[in-house]
Amino acid sequence: MIRVAKWKVASILAVCLLGIMFAMPNIMDRATADAMPEWMPSKQISLGLDLQGGSHLLLEVKVDVVIAERLEALVDSIRTELRKENIAYSNLGSAGHTANVSIKNPNDIEKAYSLINPIDSGFVTETFDNGLVTVTMSEQALSQRRISAVEQSIEIVRRRIDETGVREPTIVRQGEERILVQLPGVDDPERVKRLLGKTAKLTFHLVDQGSSLTSAQSGRVPPGTRLLPSVNNNPGQPNSYLIKKRVMVSGDTLIDATPGFDPRNNEPVVNFRFDSVGAKRFGDVTVKNVGNPFAIVLDGKVISAPVIREPILGGSGQISGNFSTEEAKDLALLLRAGALPAPLTVLEERSVGPGLGADSIASGKVASIVGLVLVILFMAFYYGRFGLMADVALIMNIIIIIGALSALQATLTLPGIAGIVLTIGMAVDANVLIFERIREEIKNGRTVISAIESGYSRAITTIIDANVTTLIAALLLYEFGSGPVRGFAVTLAVGIATSMFTAIWLTRLLVVAWLRRTRPQTLEI
């Protein structure tokens, strides 16, 4: 008599029970699933963009802006170091990936080199006989800066999307400087685009009161300062500010930002709080500059420039700027998520309506049900009792697939449904091989027990070979494919694994249970 070890029986029943438990939430609505006990699985299959509807965005990271900012910071550092040592210079500036400065006194060239070279290890410093000193960003530093900018942008985009409450977004790198964003179920793509389109780089600067704003507006901006527009267009308020380039406090040290209302006039504001480092810097600046205006700059525009009335030592503050309630919420979200290292531009945008997804789901259900019914009828008609056992395993196979996709939180797309439909047909392949082998053994005169044992043992090699080759193809599709191709690969790979389990272990258990109960002398298959 064929026997199945007790640990195998327990394992088979455990896998089937887990499959049922993880698949159950998918027949409930979201509220009911979320209300289930903590020890019960409550995750549902995540529907992709083509099934749920939503937005598809392809973004490009403007990495050149990051490099230009680093060069600008280098130029400021060179200016500071040379002035500190009273070294006369001219033509300080940057072009491409290089910063240049001309040292007027040839005797100061070596000293200038010793000051400039240690500023940034990512640059290569060279001197020339005519007094020119060039500082060029190395190829390695360029490559690292590009990679870092894109990776940091992906993380910031993910934080911003998560703050909006979008469930199961897809945010992946595509190419060298592009980010693919898919947002299932998004009903306000314009707001998402606004959030992603803002760099949200917050800095605090002192206003330059010693220089003429009118002169700067005519094009004569003093060194070490910047002329920035104001977001405030109210009468009596300046439309631009002349601020010092030096960043007194950076938004990088923010740890929280929340929308609120100013109790004095009930206008929407954003309350912010620094970490210990930022709080100390903010306190030091306000202590030393009481009576001076302090500009709050967001993405190159001055939100406001209030006068420091007294030292602010608590590490918190408030940003006001005639915001609407929605603008205050979005600004707080952006500040909490962090600043993008570089601006993002939308290269491609597509919107998918939920109606198209509903039609796809309905079509997928029809295809799955029709395929399932036809396979069940064929197996029952062609193999009789053994075919019915294979049908039971097939139904359990589908349940386990759904449970596995729910547990893995894999995103189900329309090609993924095609993979499930394909799996329904492939799931009985192993049973067909086994049953045909059993038929051959019966024809060769073996006994019932011997024929069944031989059928399972001799067909197993062929089954493994066939499924492993298909699994390799699925893995390659997942590795080199993207989007819908990966969705198909995931469901195909999961279906292969579950079909091998149900065909080899579950049907064998059902056959052994039938043999032990009936002990037949003949076999019709």
Q: How far is CA 444 from the centre of its chain?
A: 60
Assigned domain for 166 exists: no
Runs of H (alpha helix) within 117-267: 139-164, 189-197, 213-217
The domain tally of the chain equals 3
Report the CATH number at residue 94: 3.30.1240.20
pLDDT band with cut points at 50, 70 and 90 for residue 357: low
Q: State the residue for tokens 């049900």.
A: 369
Together in a domain, 254 and 399: no
Residues 6+ apart with CB under 8 A from 249: 203, 204, 274, 278, 281, 282, 285
The answer to whether residues 399 and 485 belong to one domain is yes
Confirm if 368 and 417 have CB atoms less than 8 A apart.
yes
pLDDT exceeds cutoff 60 at 356: no
Average pLDDT, stretch 445-451? 82
Q: What is d(CA 223, CA 207) in angstroms, rounded to the nearest whole number?
A: 14
Q: Is the pLDDT of residue 51 over 80?
A: no
Q: Which of 367, 511, 380 is nearest to 451 (CA)?
A: 511
Q: State which of 349, 384, 414 marks the end of a domain.
A: 349
Residues 428 and 485 in one domain: yes
Q: What is the mean pLDDT of residues 447-468?
A: 83
pLDDT value of position 234:
59
Residue 322's SS3 state is coil
| Domain range for 114 | 63-142
Best CA proximity match to 247, nearest among 273, 219, 285, 274: 285
Q: Is the pLDDT of residue 230 over 70?
A: yes
Last-in-domain residue among 75, 108, 142: 142
Indicate whether 211 and 261 sit together in one domain. yes
The rounded mean pLDDT for the chain is 82
- On whether both 467 and 341 belong to a single domain, the answer is no
Identify the pLDDT of residue 58.
87
What is the per-residue pLDDT for 233? 58
Question: Which of residues 142, 157, 185 is at a domain's end?
Answer: 142
User: Which of 153, 94, 182, 489 is CA-nearest to residue 341?
Assistant: 153
Residue 186 lies in a domain: no
- Spatial separation of the C-alpha atoms in residues 33 and 15, rounded to whole Å: 21
Q: DSSP label at 106? A: G
Residue indicated by tokens 């190395």: 138
468-506 tens-digit pLDDT: 888 898 889 888 876 677 778 888 888 888 888 888 888
Identify which of 421, 419, 523, 525 has the alpha carbon closest to the alpha carbon of residue 477.
419
* 183 belongs to a structural domain: no
DSSP-derived pairing of the beta strands 240-244 and 249-250:
unpaired
pTM of the model: 0.61
Shared domain for 404 and 476, answered yes or no, is: yes
| pLDDT tens column, 432-444 | 888 888 888 888 8
Q: pLDDT higher for 401 or 189? A: 401
Name the band, by pLDDT with cuts 50, 70 and 90, for residue 187. Answer: low
Ranking 281-285, 496-500, 516-520 by mean pLDDT, the lowest is: 516-520
207 and 300 assigned to the same domain = yes
Q: What is the pLDDT of residues 424-433, one digit of tens each?
A: 777 788 888 8
What is the model's pLDDT at position 457? Answer: 82
| 130 occurs within a structural domain | yes
- What is the rounded average pLDDT of the residues 321-348? 80
The pLDDT, as a whole number, for residue 354 is 60
- Classify residue 192: in a domain, yes or no: no
Task: Answer yes or no: is pLDDT of 55 > 70.
Answer: yes
**What is the pLDDT, as a whole number, of residue 296?**
85
pLDDT tops 60 at residue 193: yes
Residues 384, 496, single domain; the answer is yes
- Residues 263, 294, single domain; the answer is yes
Q: Are residues 30 and 88 in the same domain?
A: no
C-alpha 82/C-alpha 111 separation (Å) is 9
Q: Is there a single domain that holds both residue 421 and residue 293?
A: no
Of the listed ranges 64-68, 87-91, 317-321, 386-390, the one predicted with least confidence: 317-321
Give the DSSP H/E element, type plus range, for residue 347.
strand 344-352
Report if residue 239 sits inside a domain: yes
User: 154 or 524: whose pLDDT is higher?
Assistant: 154
**387 within domain boundaries:** yes
Specify whether 388 is located in the same domain as 512: yes
Residue 52 clears pLDDT 80, i.e. is over it? no
CATH code at 211?
3.30.1360.200
Confidence (pLDDT) at 17? 92
Residue 182 is assigned to a structural domain of this protein = no
Residue 17 belongs to domain with CATH number: 1.20.1640.10
Q: How far apart are CA 101 and CA 396, in angstroms?
A: 74
Across 358-371, average pLDDT:
77
Q: What is the pLDDT of residues 234-267, one digit of tens each?
A: 555 677 888 888 888 887 788 888 888 887 778 8
Size (the chain), residues: 525
